[in-house]
Amino acid sequence: MSDIRLIGIVGAGPMGVGIAHVGARAGYDVVVHDIDAARLATLPAALGTTFSRQIKRGAIPDGDARAAIARVRTSADIQSLGNCDLVIESVYEDEEIKRALYASLKGVLKPSAILATDTSSISITRLAAATDRAPRFLGLHFMNPVPMMELVEIIPGIATTPDVVAIATEVVRRMGKTPVAAQDFPAFMVNRILAPMINEAIYVLYEGVGTVESIDTACKLGLHHPMGPLALADFIGLDIFLSIMKVLHEGLHDQKYRPCPLLIKYVEAGWLGRKSGRGFYDYSVDPPKPTR
């Protein structure tokens, strides 16, 4: 069914690195594009780290890992995506940034190429309208961290053709993931369920019902979650999480999705979680220390 051989990834952040990892491990040739040359320079080391973890667990032989890494190349030139059969956009969760990228891809991608977005919440149909290939555009929402998480949500837009969905589903399965179909509603399925829970945990902190430590401990032990909701928010990135809540609130017009004021204040302060060194936890110390 599929003639997908070369996969392009736009964005060399953690999600882009993770998608490159599973794509290369599945046997695809991969090119990762980013306008930030410094970020691209760190990608081989980041790939090496994730593969090393899998080697230590016995999940992949050393030779297979080295062969997978050899299938990945990087480029700061957007023209490097011209021969790709599938391009997966994994840039910052901001609709205007994504739309500007799609404009720059017009005339670069070959007509048969499929374009996908890794957005965690934004309307696929609306994003597709900013491209030159709405019938060959869809959402592929990978979970973080990509090498470990089994799920990929597959979200067609209103114009996406069935053959494109079928090809994307085949690619996801070859990557060792389980594809699950979702409809094009704000935040799709997983984040629509998960985000309000995390937001409510922030309200519990905001209202003084519990501390960071007590809330996370209670959820880990009482709900048997591997990570508390506040630690998970820090892992996601509080700015990204706030963006998801805004999409839910504005898209569904329901007050139950209103972002907690404390979340907004943390983002305004630049306390974005792990990536900034401070969020609901202070990551300058080991182990991280709760900030409230």
pLDDT at res. 2: 63
* Residue 284, CB-side half-sphere exposure with 13 Å CA sphere: 7
Smallest Cα–Cα separation from 117: which of 106, 136, 190, 107? 136
| 246-to-188, 199, 259, 275 alpha-carbon distances in Å | 14, 11, 7, 21
Q: How far apart are CA 91 and CA 12, in angstroms?
A: 8
Task: Average the pLDDT over 241-251 and give the result.
Answer: 95
Domain boundaries, the chain: 6-181, 190-290
| % of the chain residues with pLDDT over 90 | 98
Q: In CATH, what number does 6-181 get?
A: 3.40.50.720
Which two structure tokens, joined as six digits, stand for 96? 């205007």
pLDDT tens, 193-238? Answer: 999 999 999 999 999 999 999 999 999 999 999 999 999 999 999 9
Query: pLDDT tens-digit profile of 14-61?
Result: 999 999 999 999 999 999 999 999 999 999 999 999 999 999 999 999
- Please compute, for residue 225, the number of CA atoms within 13 A of its CA located in the half-sphere on the CB side: 17
CATH number of 190-290: 1.10.1040.10
Does the pTM exceed 0.95? no
pLDDT band for position 3 (50/70/90)? confident
> Which pair of structure tokens corresponds to residue 50?
């994730």
Q: Give the DSSP per-residue string, 12-75.
A: -SHHHHHHHHHHHHTT-EEEEE-S-HHHHHHHHHHHHHHHHHHHHTTSS-HHHHHHHHHTEEEE
Q: How far apart are CA 69 and CA 44, in angstroms?
A: 8
Residues annotated as catalytic are 120, 141, 153, 191
Does the structure show a pLDDT above 70 at 271?
A: yes
Question: pLDDT tens digit string along 157-197?
Answer: 999 999 999 999 999 999 999 999 999 999 999 999 999 99
- pLDDT of 266 strictly over 90: yes
pLDDT computed for residue 256 by the predictor: 94
Domains 6-181 and 190-290 share a fold: no
Q: Measured between alpha carbons, how far is 160 from 138 in angstroms, rounded to an integer?
A: 6
SS3 assignment for 203-222: HHHHCCCCCHHHHHHHHHHH
